[in-house]
Amino acid sequence: MTAEKRERGLVIIPTYNEAENIQRVVRGVFDQALPLDILVVDDGSPDGTAELVESMIAEEDRLHLLRRSSKMGLGSAYRDGMRWALKRRYDYMFEMDADLSHDPKYLPELFWKLKDYDLVLGSRYVQGVNVVNWPLGRLLLSWFANLYSRIVTGLPVADSTSGFRGFRRDILEAIDLERVKSDGYAFQIEMVFRAWKLGFQVREISITFVERRSGVSKMSKGVIWEAVWMVWYLRVMSLLGRL
Ligand SMILES: Nc1nc2c(ncn2[C@@H]2O[C@H](COP(=O)(O)OP(=O)(O)O)[C@@H](O)[C@H]2O)c(=O)[nH]1
Ligand SMILES: [Mg+2]
């Protein structure tokens, strides 16, 4: 008798000073009753985020922690998390913020869609604009960043900067993570672009993003400039066949 293979996923959550949020988001993920583990990638948060995770690990063997010594950026945290996942037998990997902007209730849809698609994005802009509590300036920045990235790269995606998404393992095996250099929103765009160029099927589902209520955003001007240049880099390198 052949038992049906049950897909397993890993939710990678990067943290820097998320002590006020991390325990709630971990519980929210496990409440979904999906075959999911969690890997928190913490960059030496001075507020004790990692210690809170460790106290939960004692009672929850599906929770894991990767401690890094200092703040090295979101993209770098995800790259390390993805390498960690690739060494283990996960079929799917998910990206998710720790600040509860990404509601775990969308995980089942992301999860089940990965049976038919290679990369599933939780998208804020597929059905109008679904963002709660962002100042107008921040919303416009995000919306225009997506328009700009679509025009420059040709990516047929409404929300390529979204940090709530699921990958099938084969994408992460196919993309050479050593070559992925970007860190902030650019990292998100770059991963979708590389997957799309490699011919993987990308799908968006509609989510509502709610701005964090606790803790502070770590996004900076540098991260925005990185994205401005990165989309041109991606386009040129891809035209030259050197991506
Ligand atoms: N490990 C790690 N996590 C980070 C870093 N920068 C941001 N994060 C985490 O990435 C997620 C998104 O960051 P956030 O500041 O909320 O960005 P925003 O939602 O675009 O304002 C949160 O879970 C942060 O704690 C970093 O340098 N290292
Ligand atoms: Mg946030």
101 CA: nearest ligand 1 atom:
19
pLDDT (0 to 100) of residue 63: 98
Confidence bin at 4 (pLDDT 50/70/90): low
Counting ligands in written order, the one closest to the CA of 70 is: 1
- Residue 63: count other Cβ atoms within 10 Å of its Cβ: 19
Return the closest-CA partner of residue 161 out of 132, 135, 136, 138: 138
Q: Is the pTM of this model over 0.85?
A: yes
Is 5 a residue whose pLDDT tops 80? no
What is the spatial distance between Cα 37 and Cα 222, in angstroms, rounded to a whole number?
Answer: 32
pLDDT (0 to 100) of residue 181: 87
Atom 26 of ligand 1: nearest residue by CA position: 73
For residue 132, report the distance from its CA to the centre of ligand 2, in Å: 12
For residue 59, report the distance from its CA to the centre of ligand 2, in Å: 27
Return the closest-CA partner of residue 141 out of 233, 223, 234: 223
What is the spatial distance between Cα 178 and Cα 2, in angstroms, rounded to a whole number?
Answer: 38
What is the spatial distance between Cα 233 and Cα 124, in angstroms, rounded to a whole number?
Answer: 25
For residue 17, report the distance from its CA to the centre of ligand 1, in Å: 9
Atom 19 of ligand 1: nearest residue by CA position: 217
> CB under 6 Å to ligand 1: residues?
14-16, 18, 41-43, 71-74, 77, 97-99, 101, 212, 217-219
Do 227 and 145 form a contact (C-beta atoms < 8 A)? yes
Is 2 a residue whose pLDDT tops 60? no
Return the closest-CA partner of residue 28 out of 108, 144, 89, 121: 108
Q: What is the pLDDT of residues 201-225, one digit of tens each?
A: 999 999 999 999 999 999 888 899 9
- Structural tokens at position 194: 């590389």
Atom 16 of ligand 1: nearest residue by CA position: 217
- Structural tokens at position 165: 């998404």
Q: What is the pLDDT of residues 146-204, one digit of tens each?
A: 999 999 999 999 999 999 999 999 999 999 999 998 998 899 999 999 999 999 999 99
The pick from 74, 102, 187 for probing ligand 1's pocket by mutation, whose C-beta has the most ligand atoms within 8 angstroms, reads 74
- Residue 186: count other Cβ atoms within 10 Å of its Cβ: 28
For residue 178, report the distance from its CA to the centre of ligand 2, in Å: 26
| Average pLDDT score over the chain | 96
Helix and strand numbers (H, E) in the chain are 8, 9
Q: What is the pLDDT of residues 75-114, one digit of tens each?
A: 999 999 999 999 999 999 999 999 999 999 999 999 999 9
Residue 63 in 3-state DSSP? Answer: strand
pLDDT (0 to 100) of residue 3: 52
- Torsion sign (Cα): 76, 53, 112, 213: negative
Contact residues for 125 (Cβ-Cβ < 8 A; gap 6+) = 143, 146, 158, 159
Contact residues for 229 (Cβ-Cβ < 8 A; gap 6+) = none
pLDDT (0 to 100) of residue 99: 97
For residue 120, report the distance from its CA to the centre of ligand 2, in Å: 20
Bridge partners of 93, per DSSP, are: 10, 167
Q: What is the pLDDT of residues 55-74, one digit of tens each?
A: 999 999 999 999 999 999 99
